[in-house]
């Protein structure tokens, strides 16, 4: 089967690279043919092969779950620089759990908790995070976390949805159609979830603790203002290489 040619015809920009991944993932020619059909129909590659590479790790990705983006590796780098060994880390809006898993790998010894409101994401995250020694909770932001975490979290991280509602329709079809709307839609200005995360962060953070969220360069100044209104000292860091922006708020 000319896998690369089929993918190229379907509009896949990285057809050669994707063909190698599909061939390595398939167990039989018929399974490969089915994978090529699914990818050609627009299903994200990561949903087809069942995993994504993130921070040098292979992270399981189930169908319908938000696929970890390369730009989010910048968030991981910033958090890793803030958290020491034995740090208590909470990853809100965790999706697959990729951020927490990458932090556990980078820092070796952390106490990791992850939360998502989407049951499918929670099931996927449990596969990834449990293997890293962490715990995953299903619920709305802080609601399902153990109460004894209040005031002792060293780093809160959240790759919360930040696409304005009116812009979701402009996203690539792979995201718009195949990922959960709740993982993309951040409300009218894209900052609704960030506001809620920041509002409660001081209650959960230990003295000197940090909240770090990914956002867009355009929204970063507004996110920093949201953090400041919640009593956090905010700063913005950006990566030209990954076209990424992270806002860090310190207690």
The DSSP secondary structure of 114-144, one letter per residue, reads: EEES-HHHHHHHHHHHHHTT-EEEESSTTTT
Taking the C-alpha atoms of residue 181 and residue 142, their distance in angstroms, rounded to an integer, is 20
Which residue stretches of the chain have pLDDT < 70?
1
| pLDDT given for residue 11 in this prediction | 82
| pLDDT given for residue 78 in this prediction | 96
| pLDDT given for residue 1 in this prediction | 56
Global confidence as pTM: 0.92
Question: If 0-12 CB within 10 Å is exposed, 13-18 middle and 19+ buried, where does residue 99 land?
Answer: buried
The DSSP symbol for 53 reads: E
| pLDDT given for residue 7 in this prediction | 80
- Residues 68 and 129: beta-carbon distance below 8 Å: no
**Which residue's entry shows tokens 């908790």?**
113
| pLDDT given for residue 60 in this prediction | 96
Please state the φ and ψ torsions of residue 10, each to the nearest 5 degrees.
Answer: -80, -5
| pLDDT given for residue 5 in this prediction | 87
Q: Where does 14-72 have alpha helices with state H?
A: 15-25, 29-40, 45-49
Q: Which of 120, 168, 184, 113 is nearest to 144 (CA)?
A: 113
């Amino acid at each position: 089967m000319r896998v690369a040619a089929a993918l190229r015809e379907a509009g896949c920009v990285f057809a050669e690279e994707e063909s190698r991944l599909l061939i390595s993932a398939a167990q039989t020619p018929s399974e490969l043919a089915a994978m090529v059909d699914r990818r050609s129909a627009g299903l994200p590659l990561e949903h087809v092969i069942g995993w994504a590479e993130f921070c040098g790790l292979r992270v399981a990705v189930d169908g319908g779950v938000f696929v970890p983006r390369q730009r989010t590796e910048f968030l991981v780098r910033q958090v890793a620089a803030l958290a020491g060994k034995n740090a208590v880390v909470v990853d809100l809006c965790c999706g697959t759990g990729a951020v927490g898993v990458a932090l556990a790998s980078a820092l070796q010894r952390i106490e990791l908790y992850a939360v998502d409101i989407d049951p499918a994401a929670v099931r996927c995250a449990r596969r990834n995070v449990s293997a890293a020694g962490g715990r995953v909770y299903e619920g709305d932001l802080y609601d399902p976390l153990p109460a004894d975490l209040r005031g002792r979290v060293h780093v809160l991280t959240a790759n919360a949805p930040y696409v304005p509602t009116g812009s979701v329709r402009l996203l690539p079809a792979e995201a718009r159609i195949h990922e959960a709307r709740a993982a993309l839609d951040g409300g009218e200005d894209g900052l609704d979830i960030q506001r809620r995360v920041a509002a409660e962060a001081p209650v959960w953070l230990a003295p000197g603790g940090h909240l770090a969220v990914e956002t867009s360069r355009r929204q970063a100044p507004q996110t920093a203002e949201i953090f400041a209104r919640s009593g956090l000292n905010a700063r913005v860091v950006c990566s030209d290489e990954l076209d990424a922006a992270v806002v860090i708020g310190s207690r």
